[in-house]
Structure 1
Amino acid sequence: MNPGQRKRTHAVTDEAIAERRETIAAHAADIIAGSGVEGCTFGAVSDSTGFSVGMIQHHFRTRERLVLASVEYRTTASVREWQTIHSAGTGALERLHDLLTFAVEGEATFEQAWGFWIEVYSAAHKDPNIRVHVANTLLAWRRIFEETLDEAVQEGLIKPFHEPEVLATLLLAVIDGLAIQALNGIYDSSPAKMIDTLRRFAAHEFGIDEQSFVRRDLELKEPAL
């Protein structure tokens, strides 16, 4: 080798590794949504991504780690998407309206997002490691609701009967229940009906006009002259 000539390597940058891991986790999440946690095998993810089974094993070692990585991926993606919505500069009441809508419709389709979470909730009942990850996810999700609710209360925009922490927990319980109904078509439910029901229920709990909140009437935050 000539002096000054650098030895050629096949090193992969940290950014490339992180991107590859995220791609694998994203495909794993979609597989879980359609086939359940048990269907999330290295072979299935390999077929979906085009990456070899060996490469996937190199990054995640075990199937359990791959499943946990998919939970982290969905959580991070949801929080990041909500932060983008939150930074749009709207008022607290509009953000509550958008947050409830976001709970149903985000970048992922309703079937992808809620199909994933319902499968993971079910698996968490039997797997303590998944349960811990899901619990942390729900704490982060509830914190977003709490902060937005508290902001609306402090600004005098809503007058809920419950404290923000209790109301956030209640809203999340309603969201989860309605999502199960919509995903399975129970009571002739659908994502659109879920959004409408959720907005009406929230308006009642907020102590504000139902029709105006459902329409996202911006005059709600403006005091009458």
Structure 2
Amino acid sequence: MGTRDADTGRQSIMLAVWQLIAHHGIEAVTFRRVAERAHVSVGRIQHHYGTRDALVRAACAAMIEGAHAQYQELPDDPSARLKHILLHALPDSPRARFGASVWHAYLAKSVDDAEISRLLAETKRGTEDECVRLIKLSTRPPGDIDARIAARRLLALADGLTVRVLIGDLSGREAHELLESELAALGR
């Protein structure tokens, strides 16, 4: 199998895992169900991932890698990049709702899976560090705000708003407006 075919197969498998998680939870992920959705053999999945846990973890890592690749494609504009970090996960479209529900299933799984916990913590730290960097590149004087505290507040707000939109307590539009107003207050 060529590299392109292998990549397509891997993408199909990852998408199948995410679909199962989004619609039925992580516990619904089995080799058989993934194989059916991805239109590949169970043996192929077992060969590449070995165990169900390894498959779930690989799909978590692939989700993170995909978000990082998408971020790398953005223009090199600190304000646009900061805005993207804060707004991209708000479930204000079917696609974003799908991604947020899968992400939150991984958050729940991190309680009893040290590898997923490590992946998510590493990702959150990297996201926070990038927000700090972007805030420092803003037009405000460096002493005007503590960039680390500002980054943590913005990320916590974005995380909390995502949950409220997922449960239907706020609309995606309301969440976007609130985050936009917080960014405007920072001069972004």
TM-score normalised by length of structure 1: 0.73
Paired residue type of 1:85 = L
What's 1:194 paired with?
A: 175
Superposed CA RMSD in Å reads 2.5
What's 1:113 paired with?
A: 99
What's 1:166 paired with?
A: 149
- In structure 1, what is the Cα distance between the partners aligned to 2:93 and 2:73? 12
CA spacing shift, 1:160–1:175, aligned 2, 3 Å: farther
In the alignment, does 2:124 pair up with 1:143? no
What's 1:5 paired with?
A: none
Q: 2:120 aligns with which of 121, 126, 134?
A: 134
Note the C-alpha offset of 1:132. Answer: 1.0
Higher deviation after alignment, 26-35 or 170-179: 26-35
CA spacing shift, 1:199–1:181, aligned 2, 3 Å: same
CA spacing shift, 1:21–1:157, aligned 2, 3 Å: farther
CA spacing shift, 1:141–1:34, aligned 2, 3 Å: farther
Q: Which runs of 4+ in 1 moved over 4 A?
A: 105-108, 157-160
Give % identity: 23
Note the C-alpha offset of 1:106. Answer: 9.5
Note the C-alpha offset of 1:80. Answer: 1.1
- How many residues matched? 188
Note the C-alpha offset of 1:18. Answer: 3.7
Structure 1: tracts of 5 or more residues without a match = 1-11, 214-225
Q: Residue 203 of structure 1 aligns to a residue in which SS?
A: helix
What's 2:74 paired with?
A: 85
- In structure 1, what is the Cα distance between the partners aligned to 2:178 and 2:96? 16
Paired residue type of 1:53 = V
In the alignment, does 2:101 pair up with 1:101? no
CA spacing shift, 1:183–1:200, aligned 2, 3 Å: same
What's 1:156 paired with?
A: 140
Q: Is the 2:31–2:46 Cα contact (8 Å) retained in structure 1?
A: yes
Structure 2: tracts of 5 or more residues without a match = none
Note the C-alpha offset of 1:40. Answer: 1.4
Paired residue type of 2:158 = I
TM-score normalised by length of structure 2: 0.86
Note the C-alpha offset of 1:14. Answer: 4.1
Which of the pair has more CA radius of gyration? Answer: 1
What's 2:158 paired with?
A: 175
- In structure 1, what is the Cα distance between the partners aligned to 2:62 and 2:156? 22
Q: Give CA-to-partner distance per residue, 1:157-196, whole Å, 9 cap, x none.
A: 89863x222322222211111111100112xx12221111
Note the C-alpha offset of 1:17. Answer: 2.6
